[in-house]
Structure formats: C-alpha cells, structure tokens
Amino acid sequence: MTIIDDRPAGAAPTDGPGLSIEVLTDRCAGCQECVVRCPTRALAMDRGTWTVVTDSTRCVGCRQCERTCPFAAIVVEGPRLDGERQPMRAVHPEPVEGDRHETRLGFTSWAEALAEAARCLSCPDPTCVRGCPAHNDIPGFVAAIADGDLDAAHGILARTSVLPDVCSRVCDQALQCEGACTWSLAGGTPVAVGALERFVTDNAPVPALARVSERGAGLSVAVVGSGPAGIGAAAALTEAGASVTVFERDATPGGLLGWGIPEFTLPRPVADRPWATLQAAGVDLRCGEAVDADRVRMLEAAYDAVVLAHGAGTPIRLAVPGADLVGVEDATAFLKAGRVALEQGSVPDSLVPPGAAAGSRPANVLVLGAGNTAMDVARIARRLGARPVCVDWLDRRYAPVRPDELTEAEAEGVVVRFATTLERLEGVDGRVTVAVLRRTSQASAAVLPEPVDEPGERLAVDLVVMAMGYRLDADLSAAVPAAPLRRESRGVPDRRWAGSGLLAAGSPAAARGRPIGPLALGREASLAEAALPEGPRVWAAGDALVGPSTVVEAMAQGRRAALGILERRPRRSGRSDGGPLRVLVATESRSGRTAAVGAELATHLAAQGAVPTTLALGDLTRQDLLGVDLLVVGTWVEGLVVARVGPAPGAREALARLGPLAGLPVALFCTYGVRPRSTLDQMAATVTSLGGDVVATGAFGRSPGAAPRAFAETCLLAVPATAG
C-alpha cells in the first residue's frame, strides 16, 4: 500500500504496525535523500507534488530517513523492529591458573548465524562500512552467510582485509562497524558484525593469498615491521605481483599479534596464520633485523619503495619517585615473558617474591593503567598465580577499557581500582616493596582527574608493571616528521559522508556514548594520508603514521600505503616504468585568464604524451595528489605596481593546506598584469617548505604567445630526472 501524503504540516501520521511516519510536506523539497537510503522501500516520491509518500507497513523503525533528511521533514514514531541479538558466550575458566583457552566464543551453529544475519537490513548506503576502518563490505558478506555460502563471504572479505580471523576477535566493534550500524544509530542493538565475521573464519579456512593483478610487477618494496600494518602492506603488494621483503627486529613475526595479545583472546594458530599465508605467497621475511634511521636510507637505495610499518614500541613510563627500582618493568617485557611462561608451564622470575621459593606465595602485582593492555597484563598475571591489582587515575565512567575485557578480568579475580593514582614507590635494598596510592576525583570526561587531598594508601607489591600505553620510537620518527598525525577530519566533510546520516547520529549508547561519526571520519583522514608518501619513495602506515592504533586500522593503512605505491610506481633510478607522465594542473583564477593558461598547458602536455588533469586550486586536496607525477600550480599576481606584489592569497592558502609534498615535482607559473617581481619566489619557498621539488617556473603576460608550449616542454624534460 502506498499512501500519498498531501496533508498540511502537522496532520495526523499514517498508521502502520506499531509505527507511524509523519511527512512535513511543507518542508519536503523532493531531494529523495530518504528514498534512496530507505532499506525497506517504505518511502517513494509523488511525482505530481515531488514530496515523499509513505508505506508504514514496510517501515521497521530504523529512522534512516530522519537522520538523512536535510530539512527535518520526516518524523518516525514507534518501536524499532530490530529483533533480538543472538547472545554471545563467555567462558570463565575455573581454575584460572595456567589456563590458555579462549574466553570468548563465537556462534556455534548455523541457526545462530542465520538468525543474526537476518537482522541486517542490507542498507543501500551502509554506515557500518564507513565505520569499519578497512571498509569491509559488511552487508555483502552477511548476505553471503544468509545464502549459506562461506566461500563467497571469504571472497568478499578478502577484497579489503587480510586479517578477518584476527580482527573478528580483537576489534573493538562497538567503536567501529557495530557502533555505526543503522540499528545502533537509531538507539537500538547493532548487528553482531564481529561474531558473523568470526563465524566465517571459524567454519571455512582463510583462503591463500593469490596474485590478482600485475600492477606491481617489477617493483621491489621493503616493509619495516611485521605487525598488522606490515601485514596489510605486504599482502596488497604481493597480490599485485610486487617483490616484497619484510624486516622485523624480533625473532618471530607478527608484532603485537605475536607477543602483545594473550592466547585467551587470540589463539596462537590464529595469530600465526597471516605470516604462514604471506610466506607461502613468496614474501621474503627477515626476522632479527632491526632497522634504524640509517638503515632506512640504505633501504631507499636498495628498493623502489619503503613502507615504514614499525609499531609504537617505546613504553610510556610514569615519572614517579622509585620508578627506577628493581621490580618495575614495562608491559612489553611482562607480556613477552608471560606468554612464554604460560606455554612452558613455568613462572617468570619477576613473579617469584624476593626470598621466597617459586610457588610458595602469590606475588603481589601492581599494574599501572586500566586499559586493554593493562587488562591483558593482569589476566596473564592471574594465570601465572599472582594477585594483580590495576589502578587508573580516570573515573570508571570515563576509562577507555572495553567493557567486556573489564568484566572478564574482574570475573577472573583481577582487582581494578579506578580514580586511583600512584604517588611514589618505595623499596628495600634497591627492590620495590611498597606502592603509595592516592585517590583522585574527576568531574567529567572533559577534565583531567585531580588527586584528593588525603593521606596516601600503602600497598605491598612484589612487581610493578607500567601498562599505560606506548609512543613512537624516537630514532625512526625522524623518517616521518609529521607523525603522529591527529585522527581528525580537516575541512568540510565529503557530501557523501554528510548525506549518510552517520555524522548526525551523535553518540549512540551502543558506541559507549562516543561520537561515532567523527571517529570514523578521523580514521578516514588518516587512511587517505597513508596512501601519500612521507618522502620521495617512503610511505608510513599504522603506528608509524598515527601513533598507537588498532589492529584493523593499522592493517587498513598498510593496504592503503601499498595502493599508493602501486599508483605512483616509484623507481630508484627515476621513471623507468614506461608509463605516461601523470600531471595535475591546478589554478587560482579570478578573471579566468590563469585557468585558460592552465588549460592551454594541459593541451600541450597531452600532445606530448602526458596525461593531464585540471582543477581549481581551491578544490585541491591531498588525496588528489595520489598517483600524480607532476603538480603544476598557477596563480595570478596580486598587488600594486611598486608594492605588495605576490601570489593571490587563495593560492598561498591552498598550498599551505596541502601538507607534506614528499619530494613531489612541482612546476609554478603566474599570469600578470603588473610585473610579478617575487611572486614565483614566494610560491617556491612555500613548496620547498612543504618538501616539494620545484622543477620549473614561468610567468605569462597578457599575450603569452608560444610561452605555454615551451613551459610544458620544460616540465616534461625536468620530471624524469627527479620523479621516483
């Protein structure tokens, strides 16, 4: 049934099965935003009045129409028909000591998976895909599950992810795909995307890595680091036929996957699977080879491109009195030793109290921090027979820890004390014995906690583990001067993002009250940055680019860096790939004369075999630079005859917004009615400060004659010697 709603605004809504849709026809502009996004075809257009018509019998209460309508012309009232989410099972080992089994189980039957898959609306503009850092086609693989075809589901996931078995276990889905699910945005319960992804990998093996194109044939790429970012880069490059060598400083590959995530969360066979797959596909893995800044320069000389995918490996240490005592260590050391001890059934020396025989009494372990790493440390300590206490100065309401990890830790006997900070450590004979704790108070998430003015509490400790996070290694940071980048969107969001309704959704309860849209858009900005080089032939991804990041975010950035390399095809000895020169001509033009010269340049460049693209300089973004071999920038000259002569303000602002140019060849020109004086020098200084390589400059008066043709020829001659 279709009801044409031609009533005045405020009229009674159309009744349906517990739902009503009210269309404010005086606001409806006929833009069809709601119609194209409705997943159940409950909306259509009355072509006579060009207003929305409704069929509330089809409505399920997802409220996508409300979120996406730019004129607030639709109001949906009634329940959400989202169905009941299939329950997930958690295992609480008893006894916990020595246990290494997974504590979170996936769906165990087809009936559960099919029931959950049926809750997916297969939205025409799926916000869950925007929430996923890897942009997995979530409706696609869920539909494949509904069809009973796990091979097809794997094929869909393989387009964007090389770690589906890992990510389905370790992703914080609430802040990513599930938090961006349309049911979550409507205030309901999201589809269990992570559990469905795991069901695919639990019941059908992740397929081998296959060569799918020849885009990378002939390219040699060095990847520094074998963690998630390195895995993503190596996989995408290998699929394209590139020759990939990975350098890992540890004795075994995987980075965080190998030593940082306990087996009860990520079983060893799952953690080891990605590198077994990559090596079988021909990736040259070299473990035990550390790379410093000098080695990076050597790799640049030996390979066509370098991907810096090293993790943020320097632990953050709290600068308190006593921090240098014996018995105070960082989370990395403890996690590595603890993992080996659990596998061997032994106890690390750090967990044997001074003067006591191993196992004679439990060690008292103080864990500084209450995030996910701290929970891992404390839960491993419990399995090794210790008595861990976690302290964090944040209020429990504002702590970033995943609720499921916190619940599991406390169920296993870990004591977690929020609103508590460490004041100092005391010791005997140089070894830590006492921690002095102080309570804190925090009024809101927007302000830092303050210590409460009262006597500190003394806590007996045998071991203190600092698990407050990591920062970038200082030595390699010089290779990525802009790192760590802020995960934030710059400028006006893409129209498709604004129209999706994700940014208008606020902070859903299913996303733990976090602003799910801005979080996703910030990750998108970092993903775009990963495709662009940080040096002439150097890319960065994951922790090396943005600081400590999630597994899926790092993997996705590694893949995006690989795609940037395949697009640009850098070479050690210049442009030897034989492909046409890709030129972007961007002009700042007020009267149209500068744009006309830019178009003439593009014509001459095309006639000589280049592939030019033109656009307004004000519209130029960093993403437009992907795959560009030469950037040509044109401006008009502003100023009086004798004073304040220079490039148009818009040109200067547009160049400043671009950020690092990483050795990109840039040609500059200006059009003038008065003498340009230092105009080109000013623009060249800006380009050079951004790391660009100015290869040609030119100035054109009112009758340029043959000058644009000569300038185009100069550009083409200059670039081969500098590109790549």
Average pLDDT over residues 100-112: 93
Residues 424-450 have pLDDT tens digits of: 999 999 999 999 999 999 998 889 999
CA 565/CA 556 separation, integer angstroms: 14
Of 146, 176, 203, the one marking the end of a domain is 203
Q: Could you tell me if residue 682 is inside a domain?
A: yes
Which residue type occupies 284? D
CA 154/CA 145 separation, integer angstroms: 10
Average pLDDT over residues 588-607: 93
Q: Could you tell me if residue 404 is inside a domain?
A: yes
pLDDT at 355: 74
Q: Where is pLDDT greater, at 311 or 17?
A: 311
Of 419, 447, 471, the one marking the end of a domain is 471
pLDDT at 578 over 70: no
pLDDT at 13 over 60: no
CA 375/CA 32 separation, integer angstroms: 48
- What does the radius of gyration of the chain's CA atoms come to, in whole angstroms? 29
pLDDT at 4: 35
pLDDT at 312: 84
pLDDT at 290 over 80: yes
pLDDT at 193 over 50: yes
Q: Could you tell me if residue 8 is inside a domain?
A: no
pLDDT at 645: 85
Residues 673-719 have pLDDT tens digits of: 878 889 999 999 999 998 889 999 999 998 888 899 999 999 988 87
Claim to verify: residue 128 and residue 199 sit in the same structural domain? yes
Claim to verify: residue 43 and residue 133 sit in the same structural domain? no
pLDDT at 358: 64
pLDDT at 6: 37
pLDDT at 5 over 50: no
Residues 492-516 have pLDDT tens digits of: 567 788 888 898 889 999 999 999 9
Claim to verify: residue 595 and residue 617 sit in the same structural domain? yes
CA 696/CA 589 separation, integer angstroms: 20
Question: Which residues have C-beta within 8 Å of that of residue 583, sequence separation ≥ 6?
Answer: 602, 605, 610, 611, 612, 613, 628, 629, 630, 631, 632, 715
CATH number at residue 426: 3.50.50.60
Whether residue 201 contacts residue 177, with contact meaning beta carbons closer than 8 Å, is answered with no
Claim to verify: residue 365 and residue 295 sit in the same structural domain? no
Claim to verify: residue 59 and residue 151 sit in the same structural domain? no
Q: Could you tell me if residue 303 is inside a domain?
A: yes
Helix axis angle for 228-239 and 551-568, nearest 10°, is 40
Claim to verify: residue 122 and residue 151 sit in the same structural domain? yes
Closest to 557 (Cα-Cα) out of 292, 290, 226, 231: 231
Q: HSE of 253 in the Cβ direction (CA atoms, 13 Å)?
A: 26
Work out the pLDDT band at 576, boundaries 50, 70, 90: very low
CATH number at residue 193: 1.10.1060.10
Q: Could you tell me if residue 517 is inside a domain?
A: no
Work out the pLDDT band at 642, boundaries 50, 70, 90: low
Claim to verify: residue 339 and residue 430 sit in the same structural domain? yes
Least confident of 156-160, 236-240, 536-540, 625-629: 625-629
What value does the mean pLDDT of the chain take?
A: 89
Whether residue 228 contacts residue 558, with contact meaning beta carbons closer than 8 Å, is answered with yes
pTM above 0.95, yes or no: no
Q: Could you tell me if residue 518 is inside a domain?
A: no
Claim to verify: residue 229 and residue 170 sit in the same structural domain? no
Claim to verify: residue 70 and residue 143 sit in the same structural domain? no
Domain that holds residue 134: 89-203
Least confident of 158-167, 473-482, 615-624: 473-482
- The total domain count for the chain is 5
Q: Could you tell me if residue 704 is inside a domain?
A: yes
CATH number at residue 71: 3.30.70.20
pLDDT at 721 over 50: no
Per-residue tokens: 512: 């733990």
Claim to verify: residue 198 and residue 224 sit in the same structural domain? no
Average pLDDT over residues 65-88: 92
pLDDT at 286: 96
CATH number at residue 641: 3.40.50.360
Q: Could you tell me if residue 152 is inside a domain?
A: yes
Of 425, 451, 471, the one marking the end of a domain is 471
Claim to verify: residue 461 and residue 551 sit in the same structural domain? no
Average pLDDT over residues 313-341: 91
Beta strands 328-330 and 463-466: pairing type? parallel
Whether residue 433 contacts residue 456, with contact meaning beta carbons closer than 8 Å, is answered with no
Work out the pLDDT band at 11, boundaries 50, 70, 90: very low
How many Å separate Cα 318 from the centre of its chain? Answer: 28
Claim to verify: residue 61 and residue 174 sit in the same structural domain? no
